[in-house]
C-alpha cells in the first residue's frame, strides 16, 4: 500500500460516536482521531522479529507492515457527573487526522463546559494535549483528576528518555498550569462512586486503568494497557515501542487481561479499533480480543 493511498484513506468518512448504557451510566466513545503507519514492526513489538510480527499479521489477515492506530476517548455520565477520560490531543495534535475530541463532543450533544471531571490515565500527548486550548483550560468547569505517581514523575522531569522530551514539554505547557485545580489519586482510590483507579504502571510511570461499575454491570477502561487489538492480546509480553517501561507494562497488561477475561468484564481500549469495545478471552498463555457487535445495543 502506497503512502498516497494511506493519505487518501485517512480522509474517508467513518463512524466517530458510539453510545451505550452500562446499568444507569451512559458511556460515549468518541473517535478523537487516527493515524496510518508503515511500521507494524517494530511499533507493536520491539522485542520480536519482523518475521514474527508479520506471521501474526498474516494469521489475522492484517496488512504488513501497514497499520491504523486509533485514538478513542470516552465520556461517562455516572452519579450525576460527566467524566471525560483522556480527552485527546486537542490543538496540540501533531497530525491532521487527530485532535477532534472537541468537535466530536459537540456532535454527541455535549459542550466542554458540561464536563465535571477530566480523568487522566497518563501524561502522553494523545491523552493530555487537550487540557488547554489557546493557553486557557479547555474544560472550564471541570476538576482534573490525575494519578499522583504519574504527575510527580513528569513534574520532576528526571530520567526522561530522549524521545519523550517533547512529551515533557507538553506536560509543562498543559498540565502543570492546572496543578492547583487537580485532585491526585493512587491505585485503588475511588474517583467517584462506581469509578475506581487501577494500577497499570509501565506504559508510563503511573499509568492507570479505570474500573467502572453501575447497577452491578462492570467495564474496564484499559486506556493504554493495550496498544494493538491483535499483538497486545495474542502476545502480551511483546514490548510496545511507546511503553516507557516495557517490562512493567507487560506485567500490568497480563494481570489486567487475566482479570477481565476471568471475570468476563467488557473492555474499552484507547487504541483499539473504533468503537473500541469488546471482550477478552484467555487461550493458554495468550488472549483474544473479541470486538463487540450488538451486545450493548439490546
Distance of CA 246 to the CA centre of its chain: 17
| Burial class of residue 80 in the structure, from the number of CB atoms within 10 Å of its CB (0-12 exposed, 13-18 middle, 19+ buried) | exposed
How crowded is the C-beta side of 283, counted as CA atoms within 13 Å?
11
Global pTM value = 0.95
Report residue 82's pLDDT band, with 50, 70 and 90 as the boundaries.
very high
Q: Please write the tens of the pLDDT for every residue from 192-250.
A: 999 999 999 999 999 999 999 999 999 999 999 999 999 999 999 999 999 999 999 99
Retrieve residue 199's grid coordinates: 494500577
* pLDDT at residue 284, as a whole number: 87
* pLDDT at residue 4, as a whole number: 31
* pLDDT at residue 3, as a whole number: 35
* pLDDT at residue 112, as a whole number: 98
| Orientation angle between helical segments 165-174 and 148-156, nearest 10 degrees | 110
Task: Inform me whether the pLDDT recorded for 273 exceeds 90.
Answer: yes
Q: Please write the tens of the pLDDT for every residue from 1-28.
A: 233 333 345 566 889 999 999 999 999 9
* pLDDT at residue 13, as a whole number: 81
Q: Please write the tens of the pLDDT for every residue from 128-154.
A: 999 999 999 999 999 999 999 999 999
Task: Inform me whether the pLDDT recorded for 283 exceeds 60.
Answer: yes
Q: Which domains does the chain have, with CATH numbers?
A: 3-291 (3.60.15.10)
Amino acid at each position: 500500500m502506497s503512502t498516497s493511498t494511506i493519505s487518501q484513506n485517512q480522509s474517508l468518512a467513518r463512524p466517530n460516536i458510539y453510545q451505550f448504557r452500562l446499568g444507569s451510566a451512559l458511556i460515549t466513545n468518541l473517535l478523537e482521531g487516527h493515524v496510518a503507519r508503515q511500521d507494524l514492526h517494530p511499533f507493536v513489538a520491539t522485542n520480536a522479529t519482523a518475521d514474527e510480527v508479520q506471521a501474526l499479521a498474516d494469521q489475522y489477515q492484517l496488512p504488513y507492515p501497514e497499520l491504523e492506530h486509533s485514538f478513542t476517548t470516552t465520556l461517562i455520565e455516572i452519579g450525576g457527573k460527566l467524566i471525560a477520560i483522556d480527552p485527546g490531543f486537542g490543538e496540540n495534535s501533531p497530525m491532521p487526522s487527530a485532535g477532534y475530541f472537541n468537535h466530536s463532543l459537540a456532535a454527541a450533544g455535549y459542550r466542554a463546559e458540561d464536563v465535571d471531571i477530566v480523568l487522566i490515565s497518563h501524561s502522553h500527548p494523545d491523552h493530555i494535549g487537550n487540557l488547554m486550548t489557546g493557553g486557557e483550560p479547555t474544560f472550564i468547569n471541570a476538576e482534573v483528576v490525575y494519578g499522583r505517581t504519574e504527575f510527580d514523575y513528569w513534574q520532576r522531569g528526571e530520567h526522561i528518555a530522549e524521545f519523550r522530551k517533547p512529551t515533557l514539554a507538553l506536560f509543562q505547557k498543559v498540565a502543570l498550569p492546572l496543578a492547583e485545580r487537580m485532585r491526585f489519586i493512587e491505585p485503588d482510590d475511588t474517583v467517584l462512586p462506581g469509578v475506581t483507579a487501577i494500577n497499570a504502571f509501565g506504559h508510563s510511570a503511573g499509568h492507570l486503568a479505570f474500573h467502572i461499575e453501575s447497577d452491578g454491570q462492570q467495564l474496564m477502561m484499559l486506556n493504554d494497557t493495550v496498544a494493538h487489538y491483535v499483538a497486545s492480546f495474542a502476545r502480551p509480553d511483546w514490548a510496545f515501542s511507546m511503553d516507557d517501561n516495557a517490562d512493567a507494562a507487560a506485567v500490568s497488561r497480563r494481570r489486567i487481561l487475566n482479570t477481565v477475561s476471568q471475570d468476563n468484564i467488557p473492555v474499552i481500549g484507547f487504541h483499539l479499533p473504533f468503537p473500541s469495545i469488546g471482550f477478552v478471552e484467555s487461550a493458554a498463555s495468550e488472549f483474544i480480543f473479541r470486538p463487540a457487535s450488538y451486545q450493548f445495543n439490546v
